[in-house]
Amino acid sequence: MNHSEAADKFNKDFDRTTWHDETLWWVRQKRDRAAFAIPEWEDLRNTASQIKHNVLSNLDTYLIEFEKNAKANGVTVHWAADAHEHNQIVLSILKEQGIQQIVKSKSMLTEECHLNPFLAENGVEVIDTDLGERIVQLADEPPSHIVMPCIHWKKEEIGVLFHKHLGTPEGCADPSTLTLAAREHLREKFLTRRVALTGVNFAVAETGEFVVCTNEGNADMGTHLADVHIACMGIEKIVPKRKHLGVFLRLLARSATGQPITTYSSHFAKPREGQQMHIVLVDNGRSRQLGREEFRNSLKCIRCGACMNTCPVYRRSGGHSYHNAVAGPIGSILAPNLDMTKNADLPFASTLCGSCSNVCPVKINIHEQLYSWRQVLTKSGHSPTAKTIGMKAMAAVLSSPSVYRFSGKIGRLTLSNTPFVVNNSLNPWYKQREMPEPPKESFGEWYKKNRK
C-alpha cells in the first residue's frame, strides 16, 4: 500500500484522525514552549548544524579516531557495510555467548535493519524494553513514531493488549496501572537476560564514549545488569568532541518532547568490570547518501521526531503510512536512498509547507530535499506513466500562450483542464470540494477590453 492509499484508509475514521492530530500537535506545542524559553535557541540550531556539517566533511577521520579511543577503552568495535552484515555481527556475538534471549532498548537503526525478525528466525528472543516499543511488539507491529512508538494506540486498546499478554484486569485502561504492569513484567527480563542491546544517540570521537538517552531508564537497566552490552549505531552519529554534547543535549529533548533534557543521558566509555562492550558501526547506505550533494544533510538527523510532530500530513496519516522504519518528513528523505522503487511515493507525501525544516534542531532543509527527491525520482523513471503523460500535456499547453488561452476558454467550460489537476476522468478534486464558479472572462480578456 503506498502512502496515499494508507492515508486514505487512516482518514476513514474521522474522529481518530482528529485524536491523532491533536495528540501530536500537543507535543509540537510542548516543543514550542521549551524552545521559546531559550533565547539562544536559533543560535544553538545553527551551531548544531555546523558541528554536524563538520562531522560529515571529516567523517572518515572521526570514525578512525572514535574506533581507536573506543578500543583503548576496552570496547570491541565492529563495522557493518549493510543491514545484513549488522544482523550477522549481532547474531555472532550472541552465538559466541550461547545466548538466545536478549533485552533491547530503543534503536531505530535495528528497526531499519529488521534485526528483530532476523534474530527471531535464528531462534533468538528479543524483548523490547521501551514501554512504547514493548506495546507495539506485543501487537506485532512496527513503531509508528521514532520517539513515541505507540502514539497511534489508545489506552483502552493497550488495556486489552495488556489484559491478554500481561494479565492486567479486563477493562483497565489506566496509564499508571498499565505502566506498573509493564514495569513488573520487564523488571523480570532485566534481571534474567545476559545480553542487552542499545542504540546510540551520540558517539564522541575524542573520547570513544557514546551517549544513550532515555526517559524510562530501560537502556541502563538492561546494560548494567547484563554481561554483554551491544551498541548499534549509524556511522553518522559521531560528534567530534565531548563538549559538543552540551549543544545536542540541549536541543534533543526540547525538540522531541519539550522536556529540558531526557531523564537519563548515559555516557558509556568502558565496559563494567567483567563485562563485554561491543559497538557496531553501520553504513547501510549512509556513505552513499553522503555522496548525494542535495541529500547529504539528511545525515545530520539526531532522531528527535520534531518534524513528525509538526507535519500536518504525518499527523493526519499516521506513521505506518510511510512504510519505513523512520516515518514522517525525515523518513521521506532518508527512505529513497535505501530503496528508490519501494519509497518513490514518500517525497510526494508532503505539501512542502516547510514546517519540518523550521523545527529541525540541526536545520536540515527537509522540505527542499523532498522537492529535490521528486525531481530525482521522476528523472530516474520512478514516476507513473500516466502522470508523465499528463505532465507533458500540461507543459505543452503552458508553453504556448495561444494554446493556453484557447484551452483556458474550454477549460472554464469543462473545468477539466486546470493546471494543478492531472488529467484524470475520476478527478479526486471533486470528492470533497467544488471547483470555482467559472467567470465569464479571464483576467487576460478583461485586461484587453479595459486597459489597452
Partner 1 sequence: MKVGLFIPCYVDQFYPKVGIATLQLLEKFGCEVGYPANQTCCGQPMANSGYEHLTHDCNRLFVQNFADFDYIVGPSGSCVLHIKEHLHTEGEGEAKATHIRQRVYELTEFLTDVLKVENLSAHFPYRVGLHQSCHGQRGLHLSQMSELVAPAFSKPEKLLRMVDGIELVQLTRRDECCGFGGTFCVAEEAVSARMGVDRIDDHIKNGTQVLTGGDMSCLMHLEGIIRRRELPIKVMHIAEILTAN
Partner 2 sequence: MSREKILAAVAKNKPTLTPLPDIQDFGNPYSDLVAQFTSVLTTIGGTVVEVRSWEEIQQYVQTHFAGRRMVTNLAPLADMAQQSWLTSDPHSLDDVGLAILQGQFAVAENSAVWVTEAEMGQRVTPFIAETLALVIQKSAILPKMHHAYAQIGAAEYGFGAFIAGPSKTADIEQSLVLGAHGPKSMVAFLID
Which residue's CB is nearer to partner 2, number 180 or number 435? 180
CB of 324 to partner 1, least distance (A): 17
Residue 123 touches which member of partner 2, partner 1, none, C-beta under 5-8 Å by kind: none
Residue 406 touches which member of partner 2, partner 1, none, C-beta under 5-8 Å by kind: none
Residue 436 touches which member of partner 2, partner 1, none, C-beta under 5-8 Å by kind: partner 1
Which residue's CB is nearer to partner 2, number 3 or number 106? 106
Determine the Cα angle at 234 with ends 353 and 229, to 5°.
130
- 16 touching partner 1, by CB under 8 A: no
By CB under 8 A, what part of segment 166-195 binds partner 1? Answer: none
By CB under 8 A, what part of segment 265-324 binds partner 1? Answer: 310, 312-313, 316-317
- 139 touching partner 1, by CB under 8 A: no
- 352 touching partner 1, by CB under 8 A: yes
- 374 touching partner 1, by CB under 8 A: yes
- 425 touching partner 1, by CB under 8 A: no
CB of 20 to partner 1, least distance (A): 11
CB of 87 to partner 1, least distance (A): 34
- The three three-digit cell numbers of residue 246, written as one number: 552540551
Which residue's CB is nearer to partner 2, number 4 or number 259? 259
Residue 59 touches which member of partner 1, partner 2, none, C-beta under 5-8 Å by kind: partner 2
By CB under 8 A, what part of segment 17-56 binds partner 1? Answer: 17, 21, 25, 32, 35-36, 38-39, 41-42
Residue 447 touches which member of partner 2, partner 1, none, C-beta under 5-8 Å by kind: partner 1
